[in-house]
Amino acid sequence: MSVPNLPKNWRANLEADANELGFESIGITTPDAIPEAAERLARALKDGHHATMGWMEETAERRGSPTALWPDVQSVIVLAMNYGPEFDPLTVLDEPERGAISVYARHRDYHDVMKGKVKTLASKLAARHRETFPDIEVKVFVDTAPVMEKPLAQAAGLGWQGKHTNLVSRDHGSWLFLASLFTNLSLPVDKLERDHCGSCMDCHDACPTNAFPAPYRLDARRCISYLTIEHHGPIPHEFRKPMGNRIYGCDDCLAVCPWNKFAHAASEVKLASPEPPRDDDLAGFLALDDTAFRTRFSGSPVKRIGRDRFIRNCCIAAGNSALPELLPAVEQLTQDADETVAEAARWAEAELRKN
Ligand code: SF4
Ligand code: SF4
């Protein structure tokens, strides 16, 4: 829908509504602003970099182009919420008695937090313009639908897709959750953000598993985030030692980005955490049965992977810990009903006995 007569303050109202809901950045682009995205995705799929995430292949066509997802879309409003930690997320890696859980997963599930807020913003946008544009439609996607939010965010000027493949912002560094609103209103767009990585390779140098085959390319098959969260079955041996005590995700490439010096801690109250939670001792995790796991991670993204995958990861962290006090728990898990857990526990037991 072409909109020649937007009210003068439409952008200020939209930004005010977004800020009030906790979004710190907002940008607008068109659905055809990312022509290279489909090609980039096709190359990653061809190279097998999506590992076993078959849904990426299944949704590739819709992912590659917003109009394939919704033919009437005229404008894409991209929103970013900062989840920057107030603490150094990497210090936990030097504490083998603890399990390192990725910063984003230490909070309530961000899908829940964002979804509600984006829907509220969509309703406000529609309500503000319905009188002038009765046919206005607004659709909401929060990471669960196949939207290529990172290139769209770059096109909308929120940041650029760094060499670690995530979005980097000059204002917020690498700690951003993204969401988008699609509308059939044709809105004025923002300027694309250019790449400011320069000669920096810090994220590549920091990766414990060499998961970047080249700048701007990530091979999920080698990435600890993928291996600990998405991957089913045993974790390949070559990645077990580099995992250290990372039991859910990995923050290394994000945390070392020099642009984080401009980041500030999350202000959105549901995401803010003044200090790293201390309730993450491996001994406690190793003892979780299915019920206790569900209770412990109720409302957390960690719950999604289920007890068995989580305990598999904890066994590997225990094997890397050199802490003999974890041996009894690990020995018990060698008899676990889940063979992947039992195998990881046998590996951990052997590692612990080497010390
Ligand atoms: S998340 Fe960790 S393992 Fe994955 S690419 Fe980044 S540094 Fe490497
Ligand atoms: S660490 Fe350096 S190369 Fe990687 S995304 Fe940040 S600026 Fe770019």
- Indicate if 60 and 141 belong to the same structural domain: yes
Q: Which atom of ligand 2 is nearest to the CA of 166?
A: 5
> Domain range for residue 325?
202-261+274-353
Query: For ligand 1, which residues put their CB under 6 angstroms from it?
Result: 206-209, 211, 218, 223-225, 250, 252-253
Q: Is there an atom of ligand 2 within 6 Å of 258 CB? A: yes
Q: Is residue 327 part of a domain?
A: yes
- Indicate if 157 and 21 belong to the same structural domain: yes
How many whole angstroms from 197 Cα to the centroid of ligand 2? 5
Q: How many domains does the chain have?
A: 2
Specify which residues 101 forms β-bridges with: 248
Instruction: Please state, for a pLDDT cut of 90, what percent of the chain lies above it.
Output: 66
Q: Please state which of the ranges 48-57, 116-125, 239-248, 295-304 shows the lowest mean pLDDT.
A: 48-57
Q: Is residue 193 part of a domain?
A: no
pLDDT at position 274 is 45
Q: What angle do CA 290, 291, 294 make, to 5 degrees?
A: 85
Q: Which atom of ligand 1 is nearest to the CA of 210?
A: 8
Q: Is there an atom of ligand 2 within 6 Å of 215 CB? A: no
- Indicate if 24 and 160 belong to the same structural domain: yes
Closest-CA residue to 79 (of 133, 35, 9, 143): 143
Specify which residues 77 forms β-bridges with: 28, 181
Which residue's entry shows tokens 């790293």? 276
Q: Which of 94, 135, 143, 171 is catalytic?
A: 143
pLDDT band at 62 (very low <50, low <70, confident <90, very high): low
pLDDT at position 87 is 82
Range 271-287 average pLDDT: 73
Contact 110, 177 (CB under 8 A): yes
Range 79-87 average pLDDT: 86
Give the ligand whose atoms come closest to the C-alpha of residue 202: 2
- Indicate if 16 and 66 belong to the same structural domain: yes
Alpha helices in 88-230 (DSSP H): 110-129, 149-155, 202-206, 224-225
How many whole angstroms from 228 Cα to the centroid of ligand 2? 23
- Indicate if 177 and 212 belong to the same structural domain: no
Q: Is residue 189 part of a domain?
A: no
Cα(137)–Cα(31) distance, integer angstroms: 15
Does the pLDDT at position 51 exceed 80? no
Write the pLDDT tens digit of every residue in 133-172. Answer: 999 999 987 655 567 889 999 999 999 999 999 999 998 8
pLDDT at position 164 is 96
Q: Please state which of the ranges 61-70, 229-238, 256-265, 269-278 shows the lowest mean pLDDT.
A: 269-278
- Indicate if 26 and 147 belong to the same structural domain: yes
Is 109 catalytic? The answer is no
Write the pLDDT tens digit of every residue in 201-235. Answer: 999 999 999 999 999 999 999 999 999 999 999 99
Range 246-260 average pLDDT: 95
How many whole angstroms from 224 Cα to the centroid of ligand 1? 6
Pairing, β 100-101 against β 246-248: parallel
Q: Is there an atom of ligand 2 within 6 Å of 150 CB? A: no
- Indicate if 230 and 324 belong to the same structural domain: yes
> What value does the mean pLDDT of the chain take?
88
pLDDT band at 238 (very low <50, low <70, confident <90, very high): very high
Q: Is there an atom of ligand 2 within 6 Å of 163 CB? A: yes
